[in-house]
Amino acid sequence: MTKFNIKLLVLSFLLLISLRPLQSAEMVDPIKVDWSFKGLTGTFDRASLQRGFQVYKEVCASCHSMQYLSYRNLGEPGGPEFSEQEVKAIAASFEIEDGPDSQGEMFTRPGKPSDKFKSPYPNTQAATAANGGAYPPDMSVLVKARKGGANYIYSVLVGYEDPPPGVTLDDGVYYNKYMAGNKIKMPNNLMDGLVEYADGTESSVDQMAKDVTTFLAWAAEPELEERHRTGVKVIIYLVLLTTLVYLSMKKIWSRIDTEV
Amino acid sequence: MSEHEYVPKSKAGKWFNDRLPLLTLGAHLTDYPTPKNLNYWWTFGGILTFCLITQIVTGIVLAMHYVAHADLAFASVEHIMRDVNYGWLIRYIHSNGASMFFLAVYIHIFRSLFYGSYKSPREVIWIIGLMIYLLMMAAAFMGYVLPWGQMSFWGATVITNLFSAIPLVGESITTWLWGAYSVDNPTLNRFFSLHYLIPFLILGLVVLHIWALHVPGNNNPVGIDIKKPSKDTVPFHPYITIKDAFALLVFMIIFAGFVFFTPNVLGHSDNYIPANPLVTPAHIVPEWYLLPFYAILRSVPDKLGGVILMFGAIFILFVLPWLDTSKVRSAVFRPIYRQFYWIFVLDVLMLGYVGAMPAEGIYLVLARVGTIYYFAHFIIVMPVVGLIEKTDPIPMSISEPVLTGGAEPSLARKVNDKV
Say whether both B100 and B3 belong to one domain: no
Q: Looking at chain B from residue 277 to 296, which residues have their Cβ under 8 Å from any Cβ of chain A? A: 282-283, 285, 288, 291
User: Are residues B78 and A141, on separate chains, in Cβ contact within 8 Å?
Assistant: yes
User: Are residues A238 and B252, on separate chains, in Cβ contact within 8 Å?
Assistant: yes
User: Are residues A242 and B270, on separate chains, in Cβ contact within 8 Å?
Assistant: no
3 state DSSP class of B235: strand
Q: When comparing pLDDT for B202 and A14, which is higher?
A: B202
Say whether both B300 and B216 belong to one domain: no
Say whether both B223 and B149 belong to one domain: yes
Say whether both B15 and B42 belong to one domain: no
Distance between A238 CA and the closest CA of chain B, angstroms: 6
Say whether both B264 and B296 belong to one domain: no
User: What is the total count of domains within chain A?
Assistant: 1
Task: Name the band, by pLDDT with cuts 50, 70 and 90, for residue B409.
Answer: very low
User: Are residues A40 and B37, on separate chains, in Cβ contact within 8 Å?
Assistant: no
Whole-angstrom distance between the N-terminal and C-terminal Cα of chain A? 17
| B81 shares contact with chain A (CB less than 8 Å) | yes
- CA Rg, chain B, in Å? 24
Q: Is residue B171 part of a domain?
A: yes
Say if residue B410's pLDDT is above 80.
no
CA distance B78 to A223: 12
pLDDT of res. A12? 63
Q: Beta strands A174-175 and A95-98: pairing type?
A: unpaired
For A3-12, the pLDDT digits (tens) are: 555 566 666 6
| B346 shares contact with chain A (CB less than 8 Å) | yes
Counted residue by residue, chain A has a size of 260
- Of the candidates B246, B259, B349, the beta carbon closest to that of A15 is on B349
For A103-118, the pLDDT digits (tens) are: 999 999 999 999 999 9
Q: Is residue A251 part of a domain?
A: yes
- Of the candidates B274, B356, B399, the beta carbon closest to that of A18 is on B356
Say whether both B212 and B307 belong to one domain: no
Domain that residue B100 falls in: 33-284
Whole-angstrom distance between the N-terminal and C-terminal Cα of chain B? 26
- In this prediction, what percent of chain A has a pLDDT beyond 70? 90
- In this prediction, what percent of chain B has a pLDDT beyond 90? 90
CATH number at residue B93: 1.20.810.10
3 state DSSP class of B335: helix
pLDDT of res. B5? 78
Say if residue B401's pLDDT is above 70.
no
- Overall average pLDDT of the B237-244 stretch: 97
Q: Is residue B190 part of a domain?
A: yes
Q: Which residues of B touch A144 (CB under 8 A)?
A: 264, 269, 272
Say whether both B175 and B95 belong to one domain: yes
- In this prediction, what percent of chain B has a pLDDT beyond 70? 94
Element (H, E) at B33: strand B33-35
Q: Is residue A249 part of a domain?
A: yes
CA distance A75 to B213: 56
pLDDT of res. B176? 97
Query: How many C-beta atoms surround the C-beta of residue A92 within 10 A?
Result: 16
Q: Say which residues have a Cβ less than 8 Å from residue A248's Cβ, sequence separation at least 6.
A: B242
User: What is the total count of domains within chain B?
Assistant: 3
- Of the candidates A68, A146, A230, the beta carbon closest to that of B260 is on A230
Mutation target to probe the A interface, by most A beta carbons within 10 A, among B37, B39, B81 is B81
Distant-in-sequence contacts of A193-200, Cβ < 8 A, 24+ apart? A194/A58, A194/A59, A195/A54, A195/A55, A195/A58, A195/A59, A197/A51, A197/A54, A198/A50, A198/A51, A198/A54, A199/A47, A199/A50, A199/A51
Which of A25, A46, A55, A28 is CA-nearest to residue B358?
A25
Q: Is residue A229 part of a domain?
A: yes
Exposed, middle or buried: residue B64 (CB in 10 Å: 0-12, 13-18, 19+)?
exposed
Say whether both B384 and B240 belong to one domain: no
User: Are residues A141 and B272, on separate chains, in Cβ contact within 8 Å?
Assistant: yes
Q: Is residue B58 part of a domain?
A: yes
For B40-58, the pLDDT digits (tens) are: 999 999 999 999 999 999 9
Which of A200, A199, A203 is CA-nearest to residue A211?
A203
CA distance B400 to B72: 65
Q: Is residue B396 part of a domain?
A: no
3 state DSSP class of B233: strand
User: Are residues B357 and B130 in contact, defined by beta-carbon separation less than 8 angstroms?
Assistant: no
- Mean pLDDT, chain B, rounded, equals 94
User: Are residues A7 and B264, on separate chains, in Cβ contact within 8 Å?
Assistant: no
Mutation target to probe the A interface, by most A beta carbons within 10 A, among B246, B258, B345, B413 is B246
For B185-224, the pLDDT digits (tens) are: 999 999 999 999 999 999 999 999 999 999 999 999 999 9
Q: Say which residues have a Cβ less than 8 Å from residue B388's Cβ, sequence separation at least 6.
A: B336
How big is the A-B interface in CB pairs under 8 Å?
110
Exposed, middle or buried: residue B11 (CB in 10 Å: 0-12, 13-18, 19+)?
exposed
Say if residue B37's pLDDT is above 80.
yes
Q: Say which residues have a Cβ less than 8 Å from residue B111's Cβ, sequence separation at least 6.
A: B41, B42, B44, B117
Span of A114-128, B83-97, B284-298, B398-412 with lowest mean pLDDT: B398-412
Which of B62, B43, B183 is CA-nearest to residue B108?
B43
User: Are residues B81 and A223, on separate chains, in Cβ contact within 8 Å?
Assistant: yes
User: Are residues A226 and B92 in contact, defined by beta-carbon separation less than 8 angstroms?
Assistant: no
- Of the candidates A138, A147, A234, the beta carbon closest to that of B260 is on A234
Say whether both B124 and B184 belong to one domain: yes
pLDDT of res. A181? 86
- Of the candidates A18, A147, A256, the beta carbon closest to that of B36 is on A256
Residue B293 vs residues B140, B288, B307, B310, B367: alpha-carbon distances, Å: 14, 10, 10, 6, 10
Say whether both B362 and B348 belong to one domain: yes
List, in sequence order, every residue forming a beta bridge with B274; answer none if it has no partner: B149
Q: Is residue A122 part of a domain?
A: no
Say if residue B287's pLDDT is above 70.
yes
For B27-36, the pLDDT digits (tens) are: 999 999 999 9
Three-state secondary structure along chain A? CHHHHHHHHHHHHHHHHHHCCCCCCCCCCCCCCCCCCCCCCCCCCHHHHHHHHHHHHHCHHHCCCCCCCEHHHHHCCCCCCCCHHHHHHHHHCCEEEECCCCCCCCEEEECCCCCECCCCCCCHHHHHHHCCCCCCCCCCCCCCCCCCHHHHHHHHHHCECCCCCCCCCCCCCEEECCCHHHEECCCCCCCCCCCCCCCCCCCCHHHHHHHHHHHHHHHHCCCHHHHHHHHHHHHHHHHHHHHHHHHHHHHHHCCCCCCC
Q: Is residue A121 part of a domain?
A: no
Which of B139, B113, B39, B99 is CA-nearest to residue B348?
B113
**Is ipTM over 0.85?**
yes
Q: Is residue B404 part of a domain?
A: no
Q: Is residue B18 part of a domain?
A: yes
CATH number at residue B330: 1.10.287
For A214-256, the pLDDT digits (tens) are: 999 999 999 999 999 999 999 999 999 999 999 999 999 999 9
pLDDT of res. B399? 79
3 state DSSP class of B234: strand
Q: Is residue B5 part of a domain?
A: yes
Say if residue B412's pLDDT is above 50.
no
List, in sequence order, every residue forming a beta bridge with B145; answer none if it has no partner: none
Distance between B118 CA and the closest CA of chain A, angstroms: 23
CA distance A259 to A249: 11
CA distance B153 to B278: 11
- Overall average pLDDT of the A84-107 stretch: 97
For B325-353, the pLDDT digits (tens) are: 999 999 999 999 999 999 999 999 999 99
For B57-101, the pLDDT digits (tens) are: 999 999 999 999 999 999 999 999 999 999 999 999 999 999 999
Last residue of a domain, one of B255, B284, B313: B284
Residue A54 vs residues A80, A203, A209: alpha-carbon distances, Å: 11, 11, 12
For B342-395, the pLDDT digits (tens) are: 999 999 999 999 999 998 999 999 999 999 999 999 999 999 999 999 999 999
Task: Name the band, by pLDDT with cuts 50, 70 and 90, for residue A180.
Answer: confident
Domain that residue A254 falls in: 223-260
User: Are residues A146 and B261, on separate chains, in Cβ contact within 8 Å?
Assistant: no
Last residue of a domain, one of B233, B261, B284: B284
- Of the candidates A220, A239, A246, the beta carbon closest to that of B253 is on A239
Distance between A90 CA and the closest CA of chain B, angstroms: 20
Exposed, middle or buried: residue A215 (CB in 10 Å: 0-12, 13-18, 19+)?
buried
Q: Beta strands B33-35 and B233-235: pairing type?
A: antiparallel
Phi and psi at residue A166, in whole multiples of 5°? 95, -20
- The model's pTM is 0.92
Say whether both B246 and B295 belong to one domain: no
Exposed, middle or buried: residue A77 (CB in 10 Å: 0-12, 13-18, 19+)?
exposed
Distance between A228 CA and the closest CA of chain B, angstroms: 6
Distance between B170 CA and the closest CA of chain A, angstroms: 33
Q: Is residue B417 part of a domain?
A: no
- Overall average pLDDT of the A187-201 stretch: 95
CA distance B370 to B372: 6
Say whether both B100 and B196 belong to one domain: yes
Say if residue A25's pLDDT is above 50.
no
